């Protein structure tokens, strides 16, 4: 019996080894963990870099779930468990501080940092920087534009208030304004953009753990939340506002129910693929402002590439990251996947211009976009925002501001139940 | 009249029991084009979804993990619980009265209560995302279940036959092998099936303590299936995978029906 | 049958435990040796069980007294009961406790009533017992996640053959779907146990009562219910404890949206999503205390009944 049990334990201990062995000699394998991308652009770029490395490394694409929240959850658990199969990480721009602060990323040394920072748009570069160091290299960027049906809306409204007025005048069934009001990061991004456009923010001194605190200047914050409140109570929001993500917004536009929406340029790519008739009627303009005369600060999205602290092959991993984000590959991601570049000169490439007829506005908007605060506790802050301000129709601007301030301060101390 | 009413009630029970299973089977046989036809039976059954999941390492690896982890858990649990249950039935010792209540207490605690500490321990011991990393927590419900079932079974064994065999000239070993083993076998088998069901079913540990196809089991893989976005999840593939993992349950149910019922009710009910 | 030297085992009775053989010159030393060998047989199982449960539970208690977020490793430190204060003062904890109790309460009530009905049906059924048994074992054995998906898809517009309503988009209809799944999955267990319990109620007793003019309700109250009371209590306790920790169904069907988040899900989110082991462990310990408290209260209140069951079992 004891011998039997010993044999069993041996089998038990060996089982995972049996599966995990192999891989010796030849190029090192680099695991690139990144969210799903449906056009296949990432896979193609990984293949090209593998070929270009001339046998030094082979990039293995490991796809994470599609939603950013689920990607983050999968990644932080792996990294907290010191998973050595993670070499390259596709980081949403909002994760840099959290991952760097936890010690999961290797910083880029001065020489490499200088090399990869050259020619990068300032906004995206800032999202990869935390406490004065570069923790990742910008790969793709993103921001939202205002999209509207030219046949129904003669001129794009410059502010949120004018936008709601315009939509309310349209006949029922044609006047929906689609915005991301579901309970997820996209909703926080909308709220953060409204606050920034009103001249305030969610967190002050986000990078300094001792001084970080809720920002939310009372007047501007109430003004910004007033937009959420007014829109949610207006018939133009449609019935699905509280569960709407980018997918729902895009569906509303493509089906013709929505006359206006704020969305990433993927909307244009979706229209081109699924509703080409609509393309000629689709207009674009700068993200709406909260205050008339004060330029808007649209949300800033995108993907940076970082190297894991637990990678066994940091040298090749840094080289691979630099290769993945090269101008040629950003162009490929833009043309095939509709992903806006982070290198300024790529916007002038004719093929990219053809993909983004709004390229000039896009680059301008990225330059004006407001990054979400670079605090290591960002995901907690975002959950706090969603808890206090969701569903959108429940928002009472005057009362929500102090409550939000209290909850953000708790979240920054990572001591709030969320 | 009364008999007809009871028969109708039986029929209703069978229907309610089967409809959700048939529904998932039907979904698994629908193609992307017909999946939204809102009909109970597939109009144009296809095996496309099955080809899809068996062509993806994500599912086949998860299936291998589920089977491997389930079998190892079962063997370990039964190997540890059988001598314990024998001692509980046949021997007297101090503290005996405490063992079964303790087992019961262990069986009902919420698994999520130990996910945090296990995650912290496993990342230190490098057991995170490994087979043993799941088998060990599985023992927390597998052992009580096996001990409880086996003890109840062993209480029903006519142990005097062992003595009788020895009286008829058999050596103790022969008596054990020829008399006790055949008598105990059904109980051990039942305990094994129940334990396997439970580890096959686990979800909390499987999503918390794994992160890749190295050790992710089918229930956890189902929750993370990538694919078409229309419903936020790939319905056809999930349904097909669900059907595949239900087959062992179905077979066990049909083959070992009476034993399973006896095993389930053992320990709660007098015989 | 018995012979000198062997344990006395009169035919027709259950054997006594070997160590307890009375009257014989079984010396104390021999008894002690047997007790020791008993411990050798039982120790591996008991020690493993304690190692995989008691140790992590104690570790969870220890973690719950610390500020310990894996994303802020430098800030780890002892904070006393701060985590509990944070948890108990958060509205989300009470909302989730409420959701847990709603799901557990309604589901268990329906399971008991339906389970009892099925048990009575099976007791009376002359034809198709095998089919009914199989139809009961299938939901019992099926993976909970699979059951959750099946019911979810039956409640999803565009997919469902039942209705075009978005059941999972609103709080109370979401509860309905979760509860229906839980009921479907667990009622068979209740039914099979109650059926076995009913076997202990002699048919003649019911017939006598019927001859004496007792109505169906009286027969139920005065004959059936007392007969299965101990079994019913065990089933009830087991179902309550199992429902308090409900996780799989809610995770798959709503992931806690629309106010359907349960305590298990809340703990999971703190632990696995935020890596806040301190706060998450505090929620876990409270959930554990809720389970243990329920079990203890139950055992105290129904002490007499359960003792009766234990005696029956010993016989």
Q: Could you tell me if B123 lies within 8 Å of chain A, comparing CB atoms?
A: yes
Residue in A closest to B216 by C-alpha: A16
Q: How many CB pairs under 8 A join B and C?
A: 328
**Structural domain boundaries in chain C:** 25-53, 82-314
Residue B56 is given by DSSP the state -
pLDDT digit string (tens) for A82-96? 888 899 999 999 999
> Which of B131, B206, B223 to probe the A interface (max A CBs under 10 A)?
B131
In this prediction, residue B102 carries a pLDDT of 81
Cβ neighbors of A327 (< 8 A, separation 6 or more) are A341, A343, A345, A346
In this prediction, residue B180 carries a pLDDT of 82
In this prediction, residue B231 carries a pLDDT of 54
- Which chains form contacts with chain B, at 3 or more CB pairs under 8 Å? A, C
In this prediction, residue B226 carries a pLDDT of 64
B67 or C53, higher pLDDT: B67
Query: Beta C77-78 vs C66-67: how paired, if at all?
Result: antiparallel
- C-beta atoms of B110 and C284 within 8 A: yes
CA A28 to chain centre: 30
| CA B179 – CA B191 distance, rounded (Å) | 20
Q: Which of B211, B215, B229 lies closest to A247 in CB terms?
A: B229
Inside any domain, residue B92 = yes
Per-block mean pLDDT, blocks of 10 residues, chain A (418 long)? 46 44 70 89 96 95 82 90 92 96 95 96 96 96 96 94 94 88 92 96 92 94 96 88 84 89 91 88 96 96 96 96 97 92 95 93 95 94 92 92 94 82
Segment C262-282 mean pLDDT: 92
Instruction: Find out whether the peptide bond into A391 is cis, omega within 30 degrees of 0.
Output: yes
Inside any domain, residue B46 = no
pLDDT digit string (tens) for C189-233? 999 999 888 887 888 888 888 888 888 888 888 888 888 888 898
Burial of C161 (0-12, 13-18, 19+ CB in 10 A): middle
Q: Could you tell me if B224 lies within 8 Å of chain C, comparing CB atoms?
A: no
The CATH code of the domain that includes B75 is 1.10.3720.10
Q: Could you tell me if C298 lies within 8 Å of chain B, comparing CB atoms?
A: no
Query: Beta A145-149 vs C66-67: how paired, if at all?
Result: unpaired
Q: Which fold has domain C82-314?
A: MetI-like fold (1.10.3720)
B99 to A341, B76, B144, C50: CA distances (angstroms): 65, 19, 10, 11
Question: Is a pLDDT exceeding 70 seen at residue C170?
Answer: yes
Instruction: Say how many domains are in chain B.
Output: 1
pLDDT digit string (tens) for C241-257? 999 999 999 999 988 87
Q: Assign residue C127 a region: left if phi > 0, alpha if psi is -120 to 50, beta otherwise?
A: beta
| CA B179 – CA A38 distance, rounded (Å) | 64
In this prediction, residue C7 carries a pLDDT of 32
Segment B109-121 mean pLDDT: 90
Give the 3-state secondary structure of residue B46. Answer: coil
* Residue ranges of domains in chain A, CATH in brackets: 26-142+300-368 (3.40.190.10), 145-298+377-412 (3.40.190.10)
């Amino acid at each position: 019996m004891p011998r039997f049990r010993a044999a069993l334990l041996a089998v038990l201990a060996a089982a995972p080894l049996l599966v995990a062995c192999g891989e010796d000699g030849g190029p090192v394998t680099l695991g690139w963990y990144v969210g799903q991308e449906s056009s296949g652009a990432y896979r193609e770029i990984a293949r090209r870099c593998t070929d270009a490395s001339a046998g030094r490394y082979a990039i293995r694409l490991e796809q994470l779930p599609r939603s950013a929240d689920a990607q983050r959850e999968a990644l932080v658990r792996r990294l907290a468990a010191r998973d050595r199969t993670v070499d390259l990480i596709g980081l949403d721009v909002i994760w840099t501080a959290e991952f760097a602060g936890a010690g999961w990323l290797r910083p880029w040394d001065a020489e490499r940092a200088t090399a990869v920072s050259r020619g990068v748009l300032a906004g995206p570069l800032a999202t990869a920087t935390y406490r004065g160091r570069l923790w990742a290299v910008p790969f793709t960027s993103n921001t939202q534009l205002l999209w509207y049906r030219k046949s129904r809306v003669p001129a794009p409204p410059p502010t949120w208030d004018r936008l709601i007025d315009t939509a309310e005048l349209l006949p029922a069934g044609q006047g929906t304004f689609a915005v991301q009001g579901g309970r997820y990061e996209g909703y926080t991004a909308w709220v953060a953009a409204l606050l920034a456009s009103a001249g305030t923010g969610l967190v002050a001194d986000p990078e300094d753990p001792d001084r970080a605190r809720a920002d939310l200047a009372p007047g501007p914050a109430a003004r910004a939340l007033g937009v959420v409140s007014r829109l949610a109570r207006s018939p133009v929001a449609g019935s699905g506002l509280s569960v709407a993500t980018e997918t729902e917004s895009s569906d509303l536009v493509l089906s013709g129910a929505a006359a206006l929406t704020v969305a990433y340029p993927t909307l244009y790519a979706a229209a081109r693929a699924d509703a080409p008739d609509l393309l000629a009627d689709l207009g674009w303009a700068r993200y709406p402002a909260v205050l008339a005369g004060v330029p808007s600060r649209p949300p800033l999205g995108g993907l940076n590439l970082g190297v894991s602290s637990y990678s066994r092959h940091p040298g090749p991993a840094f080289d691979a990251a630099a290769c993945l984000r090269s101008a040629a590959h950003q162009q490929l991601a833009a043309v095939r996947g509709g992903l806006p570049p982070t290198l300024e000169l790529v916007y002038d490439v004719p093929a990219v211009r053809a993909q983004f007829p709004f390229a000039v506005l896009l680059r301008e908007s990225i330059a004006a976009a407001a990054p979400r605060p670079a605090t290591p506790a960002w995901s907690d802050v975002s959950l706090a925002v969603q808890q206090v301000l969701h569903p959108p129709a429940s928002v009472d601007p005057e009362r929500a501001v102090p409550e939000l301030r209290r909850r953000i301060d708790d979240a920054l101390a990572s001591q709030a139940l969320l | 009249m009364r008999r007809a009413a009871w028969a109708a009630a039986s029929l209703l029970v069978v229907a309610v029991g089967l409809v959700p299973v048939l529904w998932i089977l039907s979904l698994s046989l629908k193609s992307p084009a017909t999946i939204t036809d809102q009909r109970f039976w597939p109009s144009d059954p296809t095996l496309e979804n099955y080809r899809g999941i068996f062509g993806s390492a994500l599912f086949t690896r998860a299936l291998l993990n589920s089977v491997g982890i389930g079998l190892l858990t079962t063997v370990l649990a039964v190997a540890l619980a059988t001598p314990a249950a024998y001692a509980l039935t046949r021997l007297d010792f101090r503290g005996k009265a405490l063992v079964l209540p303790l087992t019961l207490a262990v069986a009902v605690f919420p698994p999520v209560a130990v996910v945090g500490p296990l995650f912290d321990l496993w990342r230190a011991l490098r057991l995170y995302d490994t087979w043993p990393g799941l088998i060990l927590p599985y023992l927390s419900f597998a052992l009580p279940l096996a001990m409880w079932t086996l003890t109840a079974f062993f209480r029903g064994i006519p142990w005097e036959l062992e003595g009788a065999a020895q009286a008829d000239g058999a050596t103790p070993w022969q008596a054990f092998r020829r008399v006790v083993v055949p008598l105990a076998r059904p109980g051990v088998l039942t305990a094994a099936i129940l334990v396997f069901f439970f580890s096959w079913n686990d979800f909390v540990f499987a999503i918390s303590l794994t992160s890749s196809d190295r050790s992710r089991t089918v229930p956890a893989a189902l929750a993370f299936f990538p694919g078409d976005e229309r419903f936020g999840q790939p319905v056809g593939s999930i349904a097909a995978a669900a059907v595949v993992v239900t087959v062992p349950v179905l077979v066990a149910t049909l083959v070992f029906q009476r034993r399973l019922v006896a095993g389930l009710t053992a320990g709660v009910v007098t015989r | 049958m018995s012979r000198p030297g062997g344990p006395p085992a009169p035919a027709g009775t259950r054997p006594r435990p070997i160590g307890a053989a009375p009257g014989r010159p079984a010396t104390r030393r021999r008894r002690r040796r047997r007790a020791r060998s008993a411990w050798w047989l039982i120790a591996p199982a008991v020690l493993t069980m304690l190692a995989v449960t008691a140790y992590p539970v104690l570790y969870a208690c220890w973690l719950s007294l610390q500020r310990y977020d894996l994303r802020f490793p430098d800030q780890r430190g002892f904070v006393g009961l701060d985590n509990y204060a944070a948890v108990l003062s958060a509205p989300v904890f009470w909302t989730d406790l409420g959701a847990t109790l709603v799901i557990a309460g309604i589901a268990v009530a329906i399971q008991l009533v339906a389970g009892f009905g099925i048990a009575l049906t099976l007791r009376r059924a002359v034809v198709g017992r095998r089919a009914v048994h199989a139809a009961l074992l299938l939901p019992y054995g099926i993976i909970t996640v699979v059951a959750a998906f099946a019911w979810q898809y039956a409640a999803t517009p565009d997919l469902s053959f039942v209705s075009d309503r978005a059941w999972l988009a609103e709080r109370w209809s979401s509860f309905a779907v979760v509860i229906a799944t839980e009921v479907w999955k667990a009622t068979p267990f209740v039914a099979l146990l109650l059926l076995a319990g009913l076997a202990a109620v002699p048919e003649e007793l019911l017939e006598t009562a019927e001859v004496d003019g007792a109505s169906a309700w009286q027969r139920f109250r005065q004959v059936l219910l007392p007969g299965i009371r101990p079994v019913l209590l065990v089933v009830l306790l087991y179902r309550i404890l199992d429902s308090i920790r409900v996780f799989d169904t809610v995770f798959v069907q709503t992931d806690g949206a629309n106010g359907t988040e349960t305590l298990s899900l809340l703990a999971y989110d703190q632990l696995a999503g935020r890596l806040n082991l301190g706060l998450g462990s505090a929620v876990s310990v409270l959930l554990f205390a809720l389970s243990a408290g329920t079990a203890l209260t139950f055992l105290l209140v129904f002490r007499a009944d359960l003792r009766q069951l234990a005696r029956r079992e010993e016989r």
